Each structure stands twice: as structure tokens, then as C-alpha cells.
């Protein structure tokens, strides 16, 4: 996996595989796709309906994030990229790049894939609450 920044690789290695390189490379390479986010979004738009139907079938109407107090209240469902397609979070967290003077976020870095392993079911509330943050959802017990 070709990360743009080695510290990002280290971050995900710790988050997903508890620092185990072998597990990280063998079990989590599907989660990443470093192409331009616009390409990934374009590809995802074509499959998102089908993906959502598959996720509802897999999980029932049960939010896998459960991070908002009003979780599942609206009964509206979204496919959620566990590793975001792109995020500026690590620019801030690891490289300490501040927001731009106009308040806009620093440039985001491409990370997540549209692979089914990287997709989970989220209610509208949790999906909006998560935004582009990188969290390992409670509902996922793989690692
Ligand atoms: Zn939820």
C-alpha cells in the first residue's frame, strides 16, 4: 500500500491492526484506494444504491456506527466509508497543518476504497455526525 505520508501508514497500522504489519498488509489492503477522491466518488455513485441495499440486507436496519444520541431515529440509511474516501484529519493531527486563514480546511488526503469491506451501514444522524473523521466503528469487531 502506497501511502503518501509514512506517518499516515503508521496511524492506520495502529488503528486497524494494532501495529501488526503482516495483518495490516494481508487483511486491510482492500480498505484503501489512493486514487483521486473525485474518481472514487464517481465510481461509488454508480453503485451506491446497490451497496445500500446489500448493507441493509446484511445488517438489518441497524446502525453500525452508533455515535450520535439520536442514532437511528430518522430511519434513513446511508452506506458509510469506514476509512473515509478522503480526509484532512491527519494533516491536522499528525502534521499540525492548521485551517486556512479563511477558515477552510487544509487539503484532504485520499485514503478509503469503495470495497465492500470498507463499507458499513450508518443511520443518517451518525453518518452526518461522523463527516470525514477517521474512527473505527463500535459495530466492527474484526481486529
Ligand atoms: Zn446511528
What's the residue count for the chain? 143
**Ligand 1 centroid distance, CA of 85 (Å):** 20
pLDDT in tens, 11-29: 999 999 999 999 999 999 9
**Ligand 1 centroid distance, CA of 125 (Å):** 6
Q: Which among 72, 40, 32, 69 is positioned nearest to 56, based on CA atoms?
A: 72
125, containing H or E segment: helix 124-130
pLDDT in tens, 44-98: 999 999 999 999 999 999 999 999 999 999 999 999 999 999 999 999 899 999 8
Q: Which among 120, 122, 133, 119 is positioned nearest to 71, based on CA atoms?
A: 122
What's the pTM value of the predicted model, to 2 decimals?
0.89
What span, in angstroms and rounded, lies between the C-alpha atoms of 131 and 141? 21
Amino acid at each position: 500500500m502506497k501511502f503518501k505520508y509514512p506517518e499516515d501508514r503508521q496511524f492506520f497500522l495502529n488503528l486497524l491492526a494494532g501495529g501488526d504489519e503482516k495483518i495490516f498488509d494481508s487483511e486491510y489492503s482492500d480498505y484503501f484506494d489512493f486514487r483521486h477522491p473525485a474518481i472514487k466518488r464517481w465510481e461509488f455513485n454508480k453503485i451506491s444504491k446497490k451497496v445500500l441495499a446489500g448493507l441493509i440486507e446484511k445488517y438489518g436496519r441497524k446502525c453500525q456506527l452508533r455515535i450520535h444520541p439520536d442514532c437511528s431515529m430518522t430511519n434513513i440509511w446511508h452506506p458509510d466509508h469506514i476509512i473515509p474516501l478522503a480526509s484532512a484529519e491527519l494533516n491536522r493531527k499528525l502534521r499540525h497543518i492548521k485551517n486556512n486563514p479563511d477558515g477552510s480546511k487544509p487539503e484532504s488526503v485520499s485514503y478509503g476504497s469503495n470495497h465492500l469491506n470498507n463499507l458499513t451501514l450508518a443511520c443518517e444522524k451518525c453518518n452526518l455526525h461522523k463527516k470525514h473523521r477517521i474512527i473505527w466503528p463500535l459495530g466492527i469487531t474484526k481486529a
